[in-house]
Structure 1
């Protein structure tokens, strides 16, 4: 689609010149060049500070940080393709039940291509790290997490599974992901890891803007009843997206030599019952502000409903936390 002079610039207008899948290079490990580097900073792995973990042999601690990198990479391969692309495809193909501008549909295909590429290079990097370190890539498929998201959508928006998928993608693509910002700036981390996460962050910045525009287009097309039930669903969708799958953490701790009871205790002590309200609001700050721009919080009872879930309107969130 060619934009006329009256069409505001879009976040993906220069996709052919800027997207990683169009211009990027394959990030490759060269073992000699990366000697002395870590694969993931221990400071960003919260359970390594636990008293039951911190005194493990250095090699076991190193394995935990590598598997934490695998967690991030594998969750990318699954969630980008099974959550984000599950929403991008019907938008792109005009199957979302919405009369959307042609340019937005073309942009949805660009997102679809990007997310597939993110999945590819994340798995590729995990395999390279495994070859260099000898630490196997676990078979974590995040199926339980994906199904929990879907079940949450079915419960909150009965009879509207596609609307739930669209809203979940908006949440995922507008949340703040500290790892993408912090790791590339850490000179102690192996270069290919830093470069790949920097590549990913560039694309995700454009995706954030795309999904913000998409949500605004979606919102104006919802009738009053659908807006009301969407507003009631949004807080729980945010919580579901930010209540992470702790199965891989538990499995990694067991592989490091902790017994079952100790591994369970470390997970419980580190992550508690889920994200606290402060962390929730920090991670969802941009998402909440997006909702505010379209008037979600002006609907009767919406602000109170968000507050009941521990969420504000994005105006009082602090600085982002590590995840």
Structure 2
């Protein structure tokens, strides 16, 4: 397909399907103690007997705090990470981006700004309907901090290419995570609608970044390919890592009225489930990332493939 015809098709598709243009406002339903606003399976402390004994209102409080953290985290990735990368493309901080890609980057900026708007709107509605205030409004998260650490460790001339690859990975991960939440049947319909509307755009974004990296990676100097490739396993460990201290859950338990000793018991006794769940999710995500990196060409260098193999990241 000629480049002009392809660009017109992409642009027409965005005008027709972008959720910012076609989706009505998503409204949070009235709260009840029985309603699930976030998956219980992702909050292992909810099912501990000490917590269950406090009743459905406490469970609702815990799940609401978890939902706040997730939605704030999505907004941070969109506004501080993805949009920033697109702006760097538009303003030629990332070299060699053609006009067609810049036009698509602008659609991503519009979409991601809208997603951040919807997430904040949903949070504001949740606060009003539940009368539950977020325990904290994060200004960063582990994914952003991990990327900043990796970025700072790179030679300056490699940072923009790493940023583009890191966003490509993040969009792939976010698309899968949002889609999985959208398939949670027991959740409030408004929350699953929020997720599925989001994933409609994220799938397109993920393909855009992946296609851009597939074209761009082979053009990078071998030194850049090897340097970035060799650091990726450690970066992914950091990017996908969990807070093993479970600081935020401890704070939630304190707010629920549990003593330090009770909170410690809940954390200790739920830790096997927490650790198993984190390991399962990390393994699944790494399989997706490994396939993505293979498609881009990152693993064509033997030294890079060996670095992944050394950490047991090689998957069938």
TM-score by length of 1: 0.83
Deviations 1:130-186 (A, max 9, x none): 11111112333142533343013322x233333332222111111265552344344
Give 2:253's aligned residue.
253
Alignment of 1:96-175 (within 5 A): 96=94, 98-143=95-140, 145=142, 146-155=144-153, 157-159=154-156, 160-175=158-173
1:209-260 Cα deviation digits (max 9, x unpaired): 1111121133123101001111112222322221245543333233223344
The equivalent of 2:30 in structure 1 is 31
Q: Does 1:240 align with 2:242?
A: no
Task: Identify which of 42, 48, 59 aligns with 2:57.
Answer: 59
2:296 to 294, 297, 304: 294
Counterpart pick for 1:211 among 209, 212, 221: 209
Residues 182/275 of structure 1: CA separation in 2 closer, same or farther (3 Å cut): closer
Q: Check whether the contact 2:38–2:67 (CA below 8 A) recurs between aligned residues.
A: yes
User: What secondary structure sits across from 1:233 in the alignment?
Assistant: helix
- What is the alpha-carbon distance in structure 2 between the residues aligned to residue 91 and residue 101 of structure 1? 9
Q: Is the 8 A contact 1:184 1:198 kept in 2?
A: yes
Moved more, 162-171 or 78-87: 162-171
Within 5 Å, give how 1:189-208 maps onto structure 2: 189-208=187-206
1:86-129, Cα deviation, whole Å (9 max, x unpaired): 21211133221x21221111111111111111111101101101
1:42 maps to 2:44? no
1:82 deviation in Å?
0.9
Shift in alpha-carbon separation, 1:247–1:110, aligned structure 2, 3 A: farther
In 1, Cα distance between the equivalents of 2:62 and 2:9? 41
Higher helix share: 2
Unaligned runs of 5+ in 1: 317-323
Measure the CA separation in 2 of the matches of 1:238 and 1:81.
21
* Pairwise CA distance, 1:300: 2.5
1:25-69 deviation line (CA, Å, top 9, x unaligned): 11113539x896321231332332345544443221111111111
In structure 1, how many angstroms separate the alpha carbons of the residues matched to 2:160 and 2:34? 48
Compared with structure 1, are the counterparts of its residues 251 and 11 closer, same or farther at alpha carbon in structure 2 (3 Å cutoff)?
A: farther
Greater shift, 190-199 or 266-275, is seen at 266-275
In 2: Cα distance, 1:148 partner to 1:52 partner: 34
Question: Distance between the aligned counterparts of 2:119 and 2:180, measured in 1?
Answer: 17
Structure 2 runs not aligned, ≥5 long: none
Q: Give the match's secondary structure for 1:117.
A: helix
Deviates more, 1:56-65 or 1:73-82: 56-65
Task: Kindly indicate whether the alpha-carbon contact (under 8 Å) linking 1:63 and 1:135 is maintained by their aligned counterparts in 2.
Answer: yes
Structure 2 length-normalised TM: 0.85
Report how many aligned residue pairs link the two structures.
Answer: 308
Contact 1:140 1:248 in 2 (8 A): no
CA shift for structure 1 position 267:
5.1
Measure the CA separation in 1 of the matches of 2:82 and 2:50: 37
Name the SS of the counterpart of 1:143 in structure 2.
Answer: coil
CA contact (8 A) 1:11 1:207 kept: no
